[in-house]
Amino acid sequence: MRSRLKIILSAALALLITQCDPDEAGLFPSYLTRVSHTRNLSDVLPGVPGATYMMHVMWSGSQKIDFVYVVQVLPDGSRRLAVLNGALTLISTDNDSQAGRLHIPVDENYHIVGTSLVNVTIALAGEITEMVEYGGLDWRNLYIVSDGAASFYAYGPVSYDGNITTLTCYQAVIDPGEPAIDDSNTCTAGIGMTGRDFALEGAGSAGSGSPGAWLVLRDRATNEGYFYAGGANPASISEYDLHPMGRIVPGTVTFDFDGRPIVEKLDSRIYKFESDGSEADNTDSIDLHGYIVAYGENDSMYLFNPGTRQLMKTLAWWRDY
């Protein structure tokens, strides 16, 4: 009886949340019965006109739970960060944060979020230390990947000379004592498809036993998407290294817990891809419009509504139970 009541209450609460903003699409009904946790973040991330948001989920080996990082970027460029665990318990806040798009687990105790190094064991007491920066780039918004060992690579500018698109990356030296991204140690990779001006839409580290990195590229002229699955520091990326994804919507790339890319296509559906280029699953994108989505351990899915600052945890859309 208690389990049944919990499901009914979760569904009712989730439905109420989506009705708070009638311009935003609600969740597909099957997700509503799987909402396990909710948390409104308005008390720590109050609504500000013109603010934008990001959300990252990373696993902590030492704590054996997801950590959820919600970033609020204010119109003046300042940033707030809320840190929660997988049960959506608020752990820490930082009203003068350097958090951004860049994020990666360093080891079982440390996460990088923007240029902040978070010790998840100390974060329980609310302490966040800043990462040392080098160079003139906005490191907070680079993409970062791991080679599966001790090396990390942050991908920055993408250049196009009218014939070849070249990716530039920087080796990251991540030492909890003095973390840094060293822009003096650069690497470049030319894209083998000539005459194509590519944008880097996303990069993520692959899961255990998989290639070191996933890179998702988009042809700026056609919106044709391609992904690369291979080493984290490629000397070049040939045409044969790229898997076609179809025409994709800019700014919609994310990754599941094992590093597989997930992206919305122009056919209004969201697709998850395998490393061999095959489509693993797909769903109607309307089900998730209006939410920032991130994925965690055990096919968990976190949904953040920027309008209400409501955060929900449920099962991923590809789960049938």
Higher-confidence position of 59 and 184 = 59
For residue 104, what pLDDT band results from cuts at 50, 70 and 90? confident
User: Residue 71: its pLDDT value, please?
Assistant: 96
Q: Tell me the whole-structure pTM to 2 decimals.
A: 0.86
Q: What is the pLDDT of residues 235-282, one digit of tens each?
A: 889 888 999 999 999 999 999 988 889 999 999 999 999 888 899 999
For residue 1, what pLDDT band results from cuts at 50, 70 and 90? very low
Mean pLDDT, rounded, of the chain: 82
For residue 46, what pLDDT band results from cuts at 50, 70 and 90? very high
For residue 128, what pLDDT band results from cuts at 50, 70 and 90? low
For residue 90, what pLDDT band results from cuts at 50, 70 and 90? very high
3-state secondary structure labels for all residues of the chain? CHHHHHHHHHHHHHHHHHHCCCCCCCCCHHHHCCCCEEEECCCCCCCCCCCEEEEEEEEECCCCEEEEEEEEECCCCCEEEEEEECCCCEEEEECCCCCCCCEEECCCCEEEECCEEEEHHHHCCCCCEECECCCCCCHHHCEEEECCCCCEEEEEEEEECCCCEEEEEEEEECCCCCCEEEEEEEEEEEECCCCCCEEEEEEEECCCCCCCEEEEEEECCCCEEEEEEECCCCCEECHHHEEEEEEECCCCCEECCCCCEEEEECCCEEEEECCCCCEEEEEEHHHCCCCEEEECHHHEEEEEECCCCEEEEEECCCCCC
